Structure 1
Amino acid sequence: MATLPDADQDLTSSPLFSPLELLGWSEFFADQVQPGEADLIPRRVASVHRARIEAIDVTGPVGLELPANPNTADFAVGDWVLADPLTDMLMSRLDRKSVFQRRTEGGRGQQLVAANVDTLLIVTSCNADFNLARLERYLIMANQAGSNPVIVLTKADTAEDAGLFQGQAEALQRDLPVIALNGRSADAVSLLRPWCGIGQTVALVGSSGVGKSTLVNTMTGPESDTKQKTGTIRQYDAQGRHTTTARSLHAISGGGWVIDTPGIRTLYVSDVVDGIDTLFAEIIELAPLCRFRDCTHAHEPGCAVQAAVASGALVADRVERWRNLLAENRDRTPVVSGPRGNKIVRKKKY
């Protein structure tokens, strides 16, 4: 369960921030409240379970009464909702500023991971877990979600040269911040401070065993009563156990909020064309310069992308990964039958 920052911290009495703004409230959400809803109380979802939802408001942790036959899968940690102050009944959910979601194997819909996240911290470690192809998939999801991605390299203190990992990660996307740190060190908090300001929300995603829960414990501080369990990893492949089993919202020591998530072993690409375009922006910018509008960038004459590969401006492997991700996205994006059998792509709102 989330808790408010310590009462003795200066940020809670700062005249620059209202109590709601400390929780991440902004004009984006305030503008959605209708005149007839003025008596309802904004609350932020702190954890979602099969049959209940826990939240937080300016008074601290609170419960939410749910209507009959609720579908809690429609809510994500980080959501803002409006509740009746007398009954605690959940009345409505406000539109999301950003939403991180993924498609599971065989699933028809998207599984919600976190909502209203300003920055997605993509966590991997400086060991055998480091995988560029997997990092690309997380970056695509972050781009599609509308969150700013930051790659966090943990266990940098155990690597012979953490700079090698950092350089490879920085090359994945234009202007991508990459931070190498020791998740147990107090320095980790200061290194991540630019993205953890008052009212800001970050979410941690990554494989099991990369140190997400350890980093959350460092960020929330020694006085936090919501410590996350941590586990060991297998030495031969750096794989770890799922020590976090549910998504949850935690107050960061000194300001901001962090959402911890269970480790994700498989991340499918689906319904994320914009996210792919952002990741491979240097290729997308060349495509209009090709001789043919329908150029596949594989063999056609006058292809600006292949010309860049030949000159060394683009790496051939990167272009191949771009093509493969586009193909996977096309194959995994569901289509539904429209009127009279016409095929239409299902559109999502983000």
Structure 2
Amino acid sequence: MTTDNHAEVPNTQPANAPDLPLQALAAFGWEPFFARQVSLEALFDTPPVRVVAVHRSGLEVVGPDIDALIPPRADATVGDWLLLDRARAHASQLLARKSLIKRRAPGTNRQEQLIAANIDTVFIVSSCNQDFNLARLERYVALVFEADITPVIVLTKADLAVDAASWIAAASAVSARVPVVALDARSVEPRQVLSPWCQPGRTVAFLGSSGVGKSTLTNALAGADLIATQAIREDDAKGRHTTTARALHRVPGGCLVLDTPGMRELQLTDAASGIAETFEDMEALAAHCRFADCQHEAEPGCAVRAAIDEGRLDPARLRRWRKLIAEDRFNSASLAERRSQDRAFGKMVKNTMKDIKARRRS
């Protein structure tokens, strides 16, 4: 079903229904946070629907007895809730989000890309092989913390590892606040091991590079082959892109699962608090430095350098911390400049249009 900007979505709610099926809404992830934003009258007039996929032709939205494609819009992403205006679908109200995952868009246009909204738990997936990358895991964890979402590191291909415990120990060094689980994605383990986070009405997402098993994990939770999978390259354990678009899937047990394409580039922006949460150990050490503006190089009384000298801190972690902070500051400043330029351009256009109208009247 395709629609244009003025398409009508048929009213599929039974005329004699005594009330909106709130229990059915809960199965799509509806909860009090969203209900508090909507009046009872609005619930009937504009039923809530959730964005489950974003296509060039529009947004795929679902709800109790509703499955439709509405006009595309730049301000909505997978996981968002809309109040569906059947007569003017393009004007459907976007509800405030309880969480949002975003990144700086690839390329040089200095824009943000919305990844997913209203996620409860993110499973950050990596493999127990040469594709394992500690810096990448830290980057993902910072992104998820910044979005105010619970992160869990999932290590796949544990059945093929000679010493899975060493991979778990390495991943656990990312943050003491992030659980780490290891499993065989092709077995029954995902449904058992991930069940504490995959409760009815909860929304989880898999993030990670290509080939780590995100689609395989989604299929394991679903108990069916919802998504095609491919083998990794044998020479370097790198994955091939299987998933090409983000999409929410409802799986047995009532959980909603978001599978995402592997991200070749993950640039952080506006993620200072997420970085601080990921590197709480670094922040705690830095708080004990003699100077508040300590650069942790050769200053006297530097608690960070002391920890490195005593073998309590890996100098590589300090370098990665510095890199993420510098990257975030640069990208945040670039985006702020872009927003300022966009506002200035919009103001110029508005003033120009006013001048044109004034000349026409005269």
The TM tier, using the shorter chain, reads: 0.7 to 0.9
Match of 1:239 in 2: 238
Structure 1 residues 42-61: Cα deviation after superposition (integer angstroms, max 9, x where no partner): 111110111211111122x5
Pair 1:113 & 2:115 matched: yes
**Identical aligned residues as a percent:** 48
Deviations 1:259-290 (CA, angstroms, capped at 9, x unpaired): 00111112122221111101100111232322
Deviation at 1:311, TM superposition (A): 2.7
Q: Normalized against structure 2, the TM-score is what?
A: 0.82
Q: Give me the whole-angstrom Cα distance separating, in 1, the residues matched to 2:58 and 2:188.
A: 35
- Residue 30 of structure 1 deviates from its aligned partner by 0.9
Say if 2:43 is the partner of 1:32: no
Distance in 2 between residues matched to 1:119 and 1:221, nearest whole Å: 20
The amino acid across from 1:296 in the alignment is: Q
Counterpart of 1:345? none
Residues 282-330 of structure 1, C-alpha deviations (whole Å, 9 max, x = no match): 1112323221121112221112222222233322221121112212222
- Distance in structure 2 (CA, Å) of the matches to 1:307 and 1:131: 26
Aligned partner letter, 1:49: H
| Residue of structure 1 in register with 2:354 after alignment | none
In the alignment, which residue of structure 2 is the partner of 1:343? none
2:49 corresponding residue in structure 1: 43
Q: What is the alpha-carbon distance in structure 1 between the residues aligned to residue 318 and residue 130 of structure 2? A: 24
Give the whole-Å Cα distance in 2 for the aligned partners of 1:64 and 1:74.
Answer: 16
Q: Is the 8 A contact 2:34 2:96 kept in 1?
A: yes
Aligned to 2:312, what secondary structure does the other structure show? Answer: coil
RMSD value, Cα: 2.1
Offset, 1:337 = 8.1
User: Offset of 1:94 from its aligned partner?
Assistant: 0.5
Aligned residue in 2 for 1:129: 131
Shift of 1:167: 0.8
Which residue does 1:290 correspond to in 2?
289
Of residues 26-35 and 86-95 in structure 1, the stretch that sits farther from structure 2 once superposed is 86-95
Instruction: Confirm or deny: 8 A CA contact 1:82 1:90 kept in the other structure.
Output: no
For 2:70 and 2:173, how far apart are their aligned partners in 1?
A: 47
Residue deviations 1:145-198, cap 9 Å, x none?
111111111111111111111110011112211111111111211100011001
| Cross-structure match for 1:273 | 272
In the other structure, the counterpart of 1:162 is 164
Please name the residue that 1:93 is paired with.
94
1:221 pairs with 2:218: no
Deviation at 1:205, TM superposition (A): 1.0
Specify the SS of the correspondent of 1:249: strand
Structure with bigger helix share is: 2
What does residue 336 of structure 1 align with?
Answer: 337
In structure 2, runs of 5+ residues without a counterpart are 1-21, 341-362
The unaligned stretches of length 5 or more in structure 1 are 1-16, 340-350
Distance in 1 (alpha carbons) for counterparts of 2:40 and 2:24: 21
